[in-house]
Chain A
Amino acid sequence: EAGVTQFPSHSVIEKGQTVTLRCDPISGHDNLYWYRRVMGKEIKFLLHFVKESKQDESGMPNNRFLAERTGGTYSTLKVQPAELEDSGVYFCASSQEDWGYGYTFGSGTRLTVV
């Protein structure tokens, strides 16, 4: 079974630029989550998709962040325009159930905004 794939693995962009992160979940997993870890702090929830619908986006920091999940398959997270405080590691996870039994995480995208 292929795992959760994220790319790019690393991205360095200048403040004010736009970056798009992609996540390919495990095939058949309806639930897709984005999490973020900033500056070595705790990993924090950003949002949760069920298929193509946003179930919960309460963790999105502001309107510079836009997440989509086309056709209930892969998801993108766009940051526009990027700010210095957006630097961190962005994790994606997928699961069949929504209650955390079988989360599988991707290896993350390390975003550095300079």
Chain B
Amino acid sequence: DAKTTQPPSMDCAEGRAANLPCNHSTISGNEYVYWYRQIHSQGPQYIIHGLKNNETNEMASLIITEDRKSSTLILPHATLRDTAVYYCIVRVAPGNQGGKLIFGQGTELSVKP
């Protein structure tokens, strides 16, 4: 699975958009970009995933560059409860039994009042 690079930490003001970047320059054509987050002392929570098109759900938006070498997770209106470590992971497509979720160091997002 391709390696990802994320900034170790970011701050965001409550109510503002949080934009979390991720570099995955060695991503393969059959690898998806997944985002999970982990609130302190809890299990990881799925946020969103995509292949090459931008994706949006009730939690966030995922913007993937045209060359697929980087992506940005956007939390449109961050709240204090969004304070967590955010992990960007690339893995083979759903449906392929070989794909394992390997976690990097992630970005620790602090949402401040």
Do A and B pair up? The answer is: no
